[in-house]
Amino acid sequence: MLPFAVRTFPGRTSIVHEGDAPKQCCLILDGWAYRCRTLANGQRQIFAFYVPGDMPDIESLHLHVMDQGLVAIAQTTVAFVAHKDMRALIQSNTNVAMALWRDTLIDATRCRERVISLGRRQAVGRMAHLFCEMYVRLRTVALADDLRYLLPLTQAELADALGLSSVHANRSLQELRKMGLVTLHRRELIIQDWSGLATTAEFDPSYLHLI
């Protein structure tokens, strides 16, 4: 069995800091995390979210200094595996190596889709797309059902993921509500009209490669 260490992080605490040179990589067991960069002026860009089953820092096996931070959103439990043990497993098991390579490629497709959102989708479309993506991903790990899921993001985090101000993010959420597409109450997102939300987002889940 692969040796690992489990640790639980409180919400809004760093799992990996920007500039770290980690000797281990992690697997999300419970909770949510995000990767981000923070500029000198304090502005932050969140560019990826991770849920149970994701390995958000597998690139640290080969890229020795992290160019982004990994932050727990709510209380998050992760399993840490030493790089030396991961390398030994990869070298001895071709199937594991291929699975990790595939996971890395899918992470890249999600990043490309995020670039499209930030560069070309309007604010409402960006938010709708994020809501659609997270629903599909969470449903895959049995954390979403009946078109609803827990969304532990603050308004500021949502804004930083979408390249918007907090005010603009709030307006976009209100617009989706007025359109009858979603409601958000006590951190639970309820999708009232999946077809309408997906159309607004121009959402095609094929880029997630979940099948």
Q: What is the pLDDT of residues 117-133, one digit of tens each?
A: 999 999 999 999 999 99
Domain assignment of residue 109, yes or no: no
* Average pLDDT score over the chain: 97
Residue 72: inside a domain: yes
- The tally of domains found in the chain comes to 2
- Tokens 């994701």 -> residue: 54
Domain of residue 163: give its range: 121-208
Mean pLDDT of 146-174: 98
Q: What pLDDT shows up at residue 156? A: 97
Give me the pLDDT at residue 1, please: 78
Asked if the model's pLDDT at residue 24 lies above 80, the reply is yes
- Of 210 and 203, the structure prediction assigns the larger pLDDT to 203
pLDDT score of 183: 98
Q: Which pLDDT score, from 0 to 100, does residue 142 have? A: 97
What CATH number did the domain enclosing 149 receive? Answer: 1.10.10.10
Q: Which of 78, 93, 108 is where one domain is finished?
A: 93
Tell me: do 50 and 127 sit in the same domain.
no
Residues 126 and 56 in one domain: no
- The one-letter code for the residue type at 204 is D
Q: Residue 9 — φ and ψ, nearest 5°?
A: -110, 135
Structural domain contains residue 103: no
Q: What is the pLDDT of residues 175-185, one digit of tens each?
A: 999 999 999 99
For range 184-192, the mean pLDDT: 97
Q: Determine the average pLDDT of the residues in 24-30.
A: 98
Query: Which long-range contacts (C-beta less than 8 Å, at least 24 apart) are formed by 106-114?
Result: 106/208, 106/209, 107/48, 109/207, 109/208, 109/209, 110/48, 110/207, 110/208, 111/47, 111/48, 112/207, 113/207, 114/47, 114/48
Q: Is residue 172 part of a domain?
A: yes
Do 189 and 153 reside in the same domain of the chain? Answer: yes
Inside any domain, residue 68: yes
Over pLDDT 90: what percentage of the chain?
Answer: 98
pLDDT tens digits along 67-100: 999 999 999 999 999 999 999 999 999 999 999 9
Q: Are residues 127 and 58 in the same domain?
A: no
Quote the CA–CA distance of 105 and 181 in Å, as a whole number: 31
Q: What is the pLDDT of residue 47?
A: 94
**Statement to judge: residues 71 and 20 lie in one domain:** yes
From residue 55, give the alpha-carbon distance in Å to each of 13, 34, 49, 167.
18, 11, 11, 32
Task: Give the pLDDT of residue 198.
Answer: 99
